[in-house]
Amino acid sequence: MFTIKQFKLRPIVFSLHRYIGLAIGLLLVIAGLTGSLLVFADEIDHFLLARQIGHVIPQGQQVSIESVLNTVKIAYSNQPELKVERIYTLPEPDIPYRIWLRSSEGERTEINVNPYTGAIMGSRVWDNTLKTLTLKLHYQLFAGDVGIQIMGVVALLVFILCITGIILWPGWKRLISGFKIKWNAHPRRVNFDIHKVSGIIVAVFLGLISFTGFCWNFYDFTQSIIYALTSTPNPSNLVSQNITAKPPLSVTQLLQKADAALPDEVTTYVLLPTKPEDAIVVGKKLPQESWKFGYSQIYLDQYTGEILRLKNGLKAPLGEKIWDSFGALHYGTFGGLPTRILYVFVGLAPLILSITGFVMWRYRYRKKSRSTTNSANFIERLKHRLITSLAKRM
């Protein structure tokens, strides 16, 4: 049986693991800590929002989406630069309808409406919320497109770190030693044991998180590869055809057509057209789906109501199913509350791994420095003895 050591690859893997870790350690810690916060970002955001605008008390049947949109349009009619972009209608009874208005500069204002009374409860600038700021720090470092590319590369390097860490794990020779921490040993050994044990525990999950993060940050490139490998056709750009120059159908009429297409699913969001040629998109969710918004989508012509594309989340092509699974794998929602709690600790692990990894490097650096110093001192002493010996003979 051949091993990595026989091929003399282990030193290369070790160097790769060490120097990648040293190079991206700080960014990895930032991504990990913000990632832990984002696991329960929705709950935190809901709590903060309730303190700002109050609680939604369920009281009978919910008002129609179109009436809510009309209320918001009337309330903000004196700000024509704000365009209604989307509305979120999650089925939880205590969550308000959320309407997003976008300015010409791209700033998003969220209007919260009571789904039972239709009254506006309050508003906030979405880009200034804790959830959005944490998300921007997590995947782009507040640096826009450049930051997205940087964190995408960091995610790829973290994936390599996970692979090299698994290869270097000493438990492949003796399983028990791979999970053992010798607390009574020298601090250097304790530090190494903490690094190896915490690393192998989170390696697979951290690998999934980093791989999906890389795919998201390089969306166009990675999605094309996944679709090509799974023979999944790329969705075409869908547009509405206003041939007769008639006005768009009402939102209620369009939602009725969407409900008829997928009658067993709940509407979770509606993406409204911002241009005359745009299609309207209705998002749907089945109870067994882990993502709160669901994976089903219906694209409709805003003028005729014709269904331009229908995606059933449970019957989607393989490439789309793989891509849709990234959200659950990245945030740990695939196993419910237990895996989400686990992912909080996975997000904290990079801090431990970075500290212990740096300490290991410092020990190694000091040892090498001492060795170099001792060698230099030995040479100096040897030279001194030779000179002294020659001087005596003369």
User: pLDDT of 207-240, one tens digit each?
Assistant: 999 999 999 999 999 999 999 999 999 888 889 9
Q: Which of 152, 157, 161 is nearest to 213 (CA)?
A: 152
CA distances from 193 to 32, 185, 345 (A): 21, 10, 18
Please tell me the predicted confidence (pLDDT) of residue 390.
53
Paired residues of 88 in beta bridges: 98, 269
Cα–Cα distance, 42 to 283 (Å, whole number): 18
**170 within 8 A of 181, measured Cβ to Cβ:** no
3-state SS class at 264: coil
C-alpha 207/C-alpha 346 separation (Å) is 11
8 assigned to some structural domain: yes
Please give the chain's pLDDT, 394 residues, in tens. Answer: 445 454 578 889 999 999 999 999 999 999 999 999 999 999 999 999 999 999 999 988 999 999 999 999 999 999 988 999 999 999 888 999 999 999 988 899 999 999 999 999 999 999 999 999 999 999 999 999 999 999 999 999 999 999 999 999 999 988 888 999 999 999 899 999 999 999 999 999 999 999 999 999 999 999 999 999 999 998 888 899 876 678 899 999 999 999 999 998 999 999 999 888 999 999 999 888 878 899 999 999 999 999 999 999 989 999 999 999 999 999 999 999 999 999 999 999 999 999 999 999 887 766 655 555 555 555 555 555 656 665 555 5
Predicted confidence at residue 368, as pLDDT, reads: 57
SS3 99: strand
- Which residues have C-beta within 8 Å of that of residue 43, sequence separation ≥ 6? none
The Cα–Cα gap between 82 and 89 comes to 20
Same domain as 64, residue 47: no
- 184 and 144 inside one domain: yes
**Closest CA relative to residue 100, chosen from 89, 109, 113:** 109
93-126 in b/e form (b: 16+ CB < 10 A) is eebbbbbbbbeeeeebbbbbbbbbebebbebbeb
105 and 148 share one domain: no
- Contact status, residue 13 vs residue 164, Cβ threshold 8 Å: yes
Are 194 and 154 part of one and the same domain? yes
* Within-domain flag for 132: no
DSSP 128: G
- Among 234, 242, 320, 233, which Cα is nearest to 278's? 242
Residue 169, domain extent: 1-55+140-233+342-370
Q: How far apart are CA 23 and CA 354, in angstroms?
A: 10
- Asked if the structure places residue 126 within a domain, the reply is no
Contact in structure between 155 and 210 (CB atoms under 8 Å): yes
Please tell me the total count of domains within the chain: 3
d(CA 53, CA 112): 8
Q: 35 and 153 share a domain?
A: yes
pLDDT in tens, 138-195: 999 999 999 999 999 999 999 999 999 999 999 998 888 899 999 999 989 999 999 9
Q: Based on the fold, state whether residues 41 and 63 are members of the same structural domain.
A: no
296 and 354 co-located in one domain: no
Q: Are 8 and 344 in contact (CB under 8 A)?
A: no
